[in-house]
Amino acid sequence: MKKQLLAIYWLLAIPFCLSAQNPNSDSAVIRRMFDEALLRGKAHPMLGELCKTAPGRVSGSANAQKAVEWGYKTMSDLGFDTVFLQPCMVPHWVRGDAEEAKIIGKRVKEKVNICALGGSIGTGKKGIKAQVIEVKSIEEVEKLGRDKVEGKIVFYSRPMDARKIYTFAAYGSCVDQRVWGAKEAAKHGAVGVIVRSMNLSQDKHPHTGTLVYDDSVQKIPAAAISTEDADKLSLLLQSEPELQFYFRQTCETLPDVLSYNVVGEIRGTEFPQEYVITGGHLDAWDNGEGAHDDGAGCVHSIEAVRIFKALGIRPKRTIRAVLFMNEENGLKGALQYARQADSLQEKHIAAIESDRGGFTPRGFHLEGDSGKIELVRQWVKLFEPYGLHDFANGGGGADISPLKKSQKGILLAGFVPDSQRYFDFHHANTDRFENVNKRELELGAASIAAFMYLLTQHGY
């Protein structure tokens, strides 16, 4: 009886031992990837280099070009099989002088913190002074109509909804004010637009971000105001509805500039013509260092590929780190990448994007064929020891989205780090290297490497 029990014990134990001891099991490889990232990781120093040598690398700027050179040199020095540039023409918007703004009332004259929205026109050198009308939505502007709006500065003040646990959901339901607010206000004769910053904190930092004009509508200047100053303005308007606002910004859009995506790859051993890519965007708004947005995504991607190399893992399929240019205001790099993949008939089976910051990893949001996604979800248990649980359906990301069109059946995966702090930094001068935690960044890179590994080895 004792012997029988022992035999049963060993029979039960064998599969466990095999998986625990097999250095090539998925779980063992993933463990080594995390160890590499946490013990010998390069993500953090790489991010420091990028942020300090090329801060504020908005498309078309000298620092964007420095960032391209940095990406090319970094991946070349790491010894990736191939590193190349993909040329594309990008918009070139410049901020000009530091912005000025004041609330001007009967009893108050107070400076406030604003910054021009990306792509906005300037106010002219003298600035604009006009009465302010506060609204909570674009719909409210439409309801008010020309009678109430003409000649005024429209102040969009709807805050992000703090109740939403996933802060990108709060952003998504608020950012229409910033993107289309100027265009809609202009239709009703507004002369300028001020938007409450997309930020869940009360602070002094204005948060920029792109706006979209309509060529058939008069362009009017638009700026973001810090959340503290937005609340102050709202309060003052309650006691003095005729309050005036002054702002001056000299931003402008110059002719398009030649720029580049930077791509580094390791060739696949079995299916080199099939691609699994991971990317972030290299451009960043000019007012910060682009640390979380999206230096983190760039170094996540480079580091994920570096981890394969450091561990001597030859992927079955070709893997790429793609540093996209011009995500913030045009997506020209992303469109160029998809076009080239199409024309070269590069079969992309999966694309991962990291553009939600360098925080503790929580999962990947998945977009693609629902049956195939269920197969991917079988890998979830491999990620649980590392704290990743969120593999919901959801958008992959802006830069990989153009691949959907021509790459039939592709899986798009958006890396999801913890979102609580992201909007403290997003598009603001607080988005600095010092506000990225080394371990959190490293765990993100390892998570992406692990997901790439599963995709390259098992296909999709």
- Whole-number Å distance between alpha carbons of 116 and 250: 9
Taking the least distance from each CB to its own copies, the nearer of 219 and 438 is 438
273 and 62 Cβ atoms separated by less than 8 Å: no
Cis peptide before 35, with omega less than 30 degrees from 0?
Answer: no
Pattern 371-390, its own copies, x by CB under 8 A: --------------xxx-xx
CB atoms within 10 A of CB 253: 18
- Catalytic residue, from 289, 327, 328, 442: name it: 327
The reply to whether 42 sits near its own copies by the rule CB under 8 A is no
Q: Is 327 a catalytic residue?
A: yes
Question: What is the closest distance, in whole angstroms, from the C-beta atom of residue 246 to its own copies in the complex?
Answer: 32
The reply to whether 128 sits near its own copies by the rule CB under 8 A is no
Strands 411-417, 361-367: pairing is antiparallel
> Backbone phi, then psi, for 447, in 5-degree steps?
-60, -40
CB atoms within 10 A of CB 418: 18
Stretch in the footprint of its own copies (CB under 8 A) among 17-25, 84-92, 373-381, 414-422:
414-422
Question: What is the closest distance, in whole angstroms, from the C-beta atom of residue 54 to its own copies in the complex?
Answer: 24
The residue to which tokens 């002369």 are assigned: 191
* 266 Cβ contact partners less than 8 Å away, ≥ 6 residues apart: 80, 81, 305, 308, 309, 314, 315, 318, 319
The reply to whether 431 sits near its own copies by the rule CB under 8 A is no
* 256 Cβ contact partners less than 8 Å away, ≥ 6 residues apart: 60, 89, 90, 91, 92
The residue to which tokens 């109509």 are assigned: 145
The reply to whether 392 sits near its own copies by the rule CB under 8 A is no
The reply to whether 292 sits near its own copies by the rule CB under 8 A is no
Out of 113, 360, 429, 430, the only residue in the binding site for its own copies (CB under 8 A) is 360
Determine the size of the site formed for its own copies (CB under 8 A).
26
Pattern 247-286, its own copies, x by CB under 8 A: ----------------------------------------
Taking the least distance from each CB to its own copies, the nearer of 30 and 133 is 30
Closest CA relative to residue 444, chosen from 169, 168, 34, 32 = 34
Out of 292, 421, 426, 432, the only residue in the binding site for its own copies (CB under 8 A) is 421
Out of 2, 3, 125, 163, the only residue in the binding site for its own copies (CB under 8 A) is 163
- Over 363-393, what HEC string results? EEEEECCHHHHHHHHCCHHHHHHHCCCECCE
The residue to which tokens 């006009």 are assigned: 130
The reply to whether 342 sits near its own copies by the rule CB under 8 A is no
Taking the least distance from each CB to its own copies, the nearer of 162 and 375 is 162
* 8 Cβ contact partners less than 8 Å away, ≥ 6 residues apart: none
Binders of its own copies in range 220-249 (CB under 8 A): none
- Whole-number Å distance between alpha carbons of 236 and 104: 10
The reply to whether 362 sits near its own copies by the rule CB under 8 A is yes
Taking the least distance from each CB to its own copies, the nearer of 117 and 443 is 443
Question: What is the closest distance, in whole angstroms, from the C-beta atom of residue 383 to its own copies in the complex?
Answer: 11
Angle between helices 43-53 and 438-458 (to 10 degrees): 110
The reply to whether 34 sits near its own copies by the rule CB under 8 A is yes
Question: What is the closest distance, in whole angstroms, from the C-beta atom of residue 144 to its own copies in the complex?
Answer: 27
Strands 271-281, 347-353: pairing is parallel
The reply to whether 399 sits near its own copies by the rule CB under 8 A is no
Binders of its own copies in range 179-218 (CB under 8 A): 200-201
Taking the least distance from each CB to its own copies, the nearer of 35 and 342 is 35
Angle between helices 138-149 and 176-187 (to 10 degrees): 30
Taking the least distance from each CB to its own copies, the nearer of 97 and 434 is 434
The reply to whether 49 sits near its own copies by the rule CB under 8 A is no
Question: What is the closest distance, in whole angstroms, from the C-beta atom of residue 269 to its own copies in the complex?
Answer: 28
Question: What is the closest distance, in whole angstroms, from the C-beta atom of residue 45 to its own copies in the complex?
Answer: 11
Question: What is the closest distance, in whole angstroms, from the C-beta atom of residue 361 to its own copies in the complex?
Answer: 10
- Whole-number Å distance between alpha carbons of 299 and 7: 50
Stretch in the footprint of its own copies (CB under 8 A) among 261-269, 364-372, 404-412, 432-440:
432-440
Q: Which runs of E-coded beta strand occur in 74-113?
A: 82-94, 100-104, 109-111
* 381 Cβ contact partners less than 8 Å away, ≥ 6 residues apart: none
Taking the least distance from each CB to its own copies, the nearer of 49 and 390 is 390
Out of 1, 5, 11, 39, the only residue in the binding site for its own copies (CB under 8 A) is 39
Positions in the binding site for its own copies (CB under 8 A): 34-35, 38-39, 162-163, 165, 167, 200-201, 360, 362, 385-387, 389-390, 418, 420-421, 424, 437-440, 443
Instruction: Give the catalytic positions in this structure.
Output: 327
